[in-house]
Amino acid sequence: MNKKEIAISFLNCASSGAVEEGYSKYISNDFIHHNQYFKGDRQSLLEAMVESHQSNPNKSIEIKNIYLDGDAVISHSLVSKEEMQIAVVHIFRIKDDKIVELWDLGQLVDPNSPNQNGLF
């Protein structure tokens, strides 16, 4: 499995509620992340993702763009929830077929945006 496929598979697991499966397959034991709302360790983000799926599950994720540069994979996705859509950029650092570092940045999609180009 190449680095892009690892990132896509992890995102699909995480967005469908199979967070623990995604973690066991694709996340390194030495994983760190940069989500400002949670401690930067592996377990804290895992617990937050499980809780988020239980309280406000995703309806879908659509990966619009994905890029590879060395050990980095960058994805640009549309995440749909019951009452909102979010444009999300994930930046993965992958080493030895495991995700070792993650950045995630999201922006709510404004259906009344004056920008004719949209977020994608």
Helix, strand, coil distribution of the chain in percent, nearest 5: 30, 45, 25
- Give tens-digit pLDDT for 18-42: 999 999 999 999 999 999 999 999 9
The domain total for the chain is: 1
Q: Is residue 48 part of a domain?
A: yes
Whichever domain contains 54, its CATH number is 3.10.450.50
Q: Is residue 102 part of a domain?
A: yes
- Looking only at the bridges linking them, the beta strands covering 98-108 and 27-33 are parallel
The reported pTM is 0.94
Query: The domain containing residue 72 runs over which residues?
Result: 3-108
Q: Is residue 34 part of a domain?
A: yes
Residues in the chain: 120
Q: Rounded distance, CA 51 to CA 37, Å?
A: 14
- Give tens-digit pLDDT for 74-102: 999 999 999 999 999 999 999 999 999 99
Q: Is residue 78 part of a domain?
A: yes
Q: Is 26 helix (H, G, I), strand (E, B) or coil?
A: helix
Q: Is residue 50 part of a domain?
A: yes
- Looking only at the bridges linking them, the beta strands covering 72-81 and 58-69 are antiparallel
